Amino acid sequence: MVAIQKLLRGCGRCHYAPILSVRLDGCQVSFSPNVVQGRRVSTQQDAPSAAGHDRTVSASKRRGDRQRQAILQAVRELLEEKPFAELSVSTISDRAGVARSGFYFYFDSKYSVLAQILAEATHELEELTQYFAPRGPDESPAAFAKRMVGSAAAVYAHNDPVMSACNVARNTDAEIRKILDQQVDTVIDQVIGVVEDEIKAGTAHPISDDIPALVRTLAVSTALMLSGDTTFLGPDGDVQRGVRVLEQLWLNALWGGRSTTMRAAELAERSEKDSSSPI
């Protein structure tokens, strides 16, 4: 006990005194942690608050989104100036204002950027066509054809010159051809589903029983014409003129054919004529 009292008297004049506490009844000395000169302190670095952490993450995400969008926009702008084959990662990065390492953080290659742009174009087409919604009871076949072709025309116009550049490069660049084929296959699969449902309901009469081949022909013709292919548009390059033809092409290809009932009636009539004809 005497030793403890001497210890307290000795420490009373130093700044460590507040750290000591004494229980004389149990002759026990204890040290109060995290207290210096009567003030509680932390021995560990305080973790950032949840709100502060969320703000940091949100700011980083916004900065990342801006850089990613800058890369996409850079490719769109550069394609107005030169073919895709002449674009390099360095050129794209310089135009976007990001480092090469920043480019590779978001995209594996320049083809990845192109694939993302085309994926966004496909999503835009889905939204405009109401996700390839089937023809409603109040929508005529002509209105349906206009919805499909008109939506595609709007998407191609909004994403030009990317679509035109891709069309030019598809014959010489296998990677671009693969990306474009995947895009058009996505559209074709959805349109086939719509047409087959109408056939089952007896409300569509396509000109061919081979629906996949028919829809593919319509979709590819539409894509090539809207991308500005002069083989389809001619020397004047009048896209609106081509759009009007495409609308009629879709309408007559899917609803201009003879119905199954009409075909059966024609076959029965022909058979009856054959049986009544003199040998």
Q: Which domains occur in the chain, in start order?
A: 2-37 (no CATH), 63-107 (1.10.10.60), 110-263 (1.10.357.10)
**pLDDT, tens only, 98-150:** 999 999 999 999 999 999 999 999 999 999 999 999 998 999 999 999 999 99
Mean pLDDT over each residue of the chain, to the nearest integer: 82
Please tell me which residue, 13 or 104, carries the higher pLDDT value: 104
**pLDDT, tens only, 153-179:** 999 999 999 999 898 888 899 999 999
Own/partner pairs, 129-135, CB within 8 angstroms, 24+ separation: 131/190, 132/187, 132/190, 132/191, 132/193, 132/194, 134/194, 134/197, 134/198, 135/194, 135/198, 135/203
**pLDDT, tens only, 224-266:** 999 998 899 999 999 999 999 999 999 999 999 865 555 555 5
Measure the CA–CA gap between 270 and 46, rounded to whole angstroms. 92
Mean pLDDT of 14-22: 45
What share of the chain has pLDDT > 90, as a percent?
Answer: 61
pLDDT value of position 276: 66
**pLDDT band for position 210 (cuts 50, 70, 90):** very high
Instruction: Output the pTM of the full model.
Output: 0.69
pLDDT value of position 58: 62
| AA identity, residue 180 | L
pLDDT value of position 64: 74
pLDDT value of position 272: 73
Q: Is the pLDDT of residue 46 over 60?
A: no
pLDDT value of position 206: 97
pLDDT value of position 21: 45
Of the given ranges (5-19, 187-201, 235-249, 252-266), which has the lowest mean pLDDT? Answer: 5-19
Chain Cα centroid distance, residue 227: 20
**pLDDT, tens only, 51-78:** 555 555 565 567 779 999 999 999 999 9
| AA identity, residue 49 | S
pLDDT value of position 26: 45
pLDDT value of position 273: 72
What are the respective helix, strand and coil percentages of the chain, to the nearest 5?
A: 65, 5, 30
pLDDT value of position 171: 87
In the block, residue with structure tokens 């056939």: 199
Residue from 117, 37, 15 nearest 73 by CA: 117
